Amino acid sequence: MTKECRLLLRGIINRFTLFLLLILLTLLSLLIGVKQIPLSDLGHLSQTQLHIILTSRIPRTISILISGSTLALAGLIMQQMMQNKFVSPTTAGTMDWAKLGILIAMIWFPQENILIKLAFAVLLSIGGTFLFVKLIQLIRFKEVIFVPLMGIMLGGIVSSFTTFMALQTNTVQSVGNWLNGNFAIITSGRYEILYLSIPLLILTYIFANHFTIAGMGKDFSNNLGVNYERIIHIGLFITATITALVVVTVGTLPFLGLIVPNIVAIFRGDHLKHALPQTAMLGAIFVLFSDIIGRLVVYPYEINIGLTIGVFGTVIFLIMLLKGRRHYAN
């Protein structure tokens, strides 16, 4: 068997394993909750069980799958274009800008529906992300760790301003749902806005090769006939819009766009198009697992998904940093 065939077979096995794990966790997500639904009851569900599955469990699980996969892909795109493995919607401040947009919509249009909040969140996310990129481009020295530090500082300023505005307008409790991710609030009729991210996923796949080329630098892209500035703008638009959609619906999910693309890159390399399926599946698996753990640890209560992802994400990220340090030391 040639080397190419072995690599292809390994890729198929990895995808198949991730797919099986994704199906298993999805089934567990549908069955686990305050109202337990035994696996043996799936063939003859009662009216109460059917109502719970249709109005709560299915919307929640779909939200988890879409949020996990899209945010992981958003992180992958940002890391590819910024040529930095520490950049993500969290470390670039994109999520903080989205929260500010939601707060402004709540203050100016308190009676409007979620689409108004989404519009403000998207506009602020796009504007804030472009501001971050422009600041990085103006800085002559672009050390690997300096770029995310700049994003974290910018995000911290925006987050502090958001908290100040919330205190001044007595909206701290109202905006609390968007400060920490929470899938417990997801029910039928409140999550469908996430479907808007599907066209963005298709757009990501279409421009995947262009994002890979843009990640190699402006001169390299221009030599291959790729409009570097336009591709960067398209990528930032996709990542900012995806982030705003997730924040408006379920709140912030830290670390997801940071660690998942790095884990996939270890096994699949930096070619974005080849890494898309594994990144999407692993992102969904990570959020599913964290959500299930959050539902079981203090059962029948549950822990916010933002907290569980933060704990697991911190541990995984520290392990990756330590292993990376040993690797480069050797």
Structural domains in the chain, sorted by start: 3-329 (1.10.3470.10)
Band the pLDDT of 176: cuts 50, 70, 90.
low
- Residue 179 is predicted with a pLDDT of 64
- Read out DSSP for 149-208? HHHHHHHHHHHHHHHHHHHHTT-HHHHHHHHS--GGG--TTSSGGGGGHHHHHHHHHHTH
Q: What does the chain come to in residues?
A: 330
Q: What proportion of the chain, given as a percentage, has pLDDT over 90?
A: 2
Give 276 or 289, the one with higher predicted confidence: 289
Instruction: Tell me the average pLDDT across 200-217.
Output: 82
Residues 6+ positions from 83 with CB-CB distance below 8 Å: 215, 216, 217
Amino acid letter, 72:
A
Contact call for residues 261 and 72 (beta carbons, < 8 A)? yes
| Distance set, CA 252 to CA 95, 118, 131, 177 (Å) | 7, 14, 20, 9
Please give the structure tokens belonging to residue 295: 């539902």
Distance CA 87, CA 152 (A): 10
Contact call for residues 264 and 275 (beta carbons, < 8 A)? yes
Band the pLDDT of 328: cuts 50, 70, 90.
very low
- Residue 329 is predicted with a pLDDT of 42
| Average pLDDT for the chain | 79
Most confident of 10-19, 66-75, 162-171, 294-303: 66-75
Give 75 or 3, the one with higher predicted confidence: 75
Instruction: Tell me the average pLDDT across 130-151.
Output: 77
Amino acid letter, 299:
Y
Q: Is 13 a residue whose pLDDT tops 70?
A: no
- Residue 90 is predicted with a pLDDT of 84
- Residue 270 is predicted with a pLDDT of 66
Instruction: Tell me the average pLDDT across 180-207.
Output: 80
Helix segments in the chain, DSSP class H: 3-31, 47-52, 58-82, 94-108, 114-138, 146-168, 172-179, 197-206, 208-214, 218-223, 228-250, 256-268, 272-297, 305-329
Contact call for residues 30 and 257 (beta carbons, < 8 A)? no
- Residue 39 is predicted with a pLDDT of 65
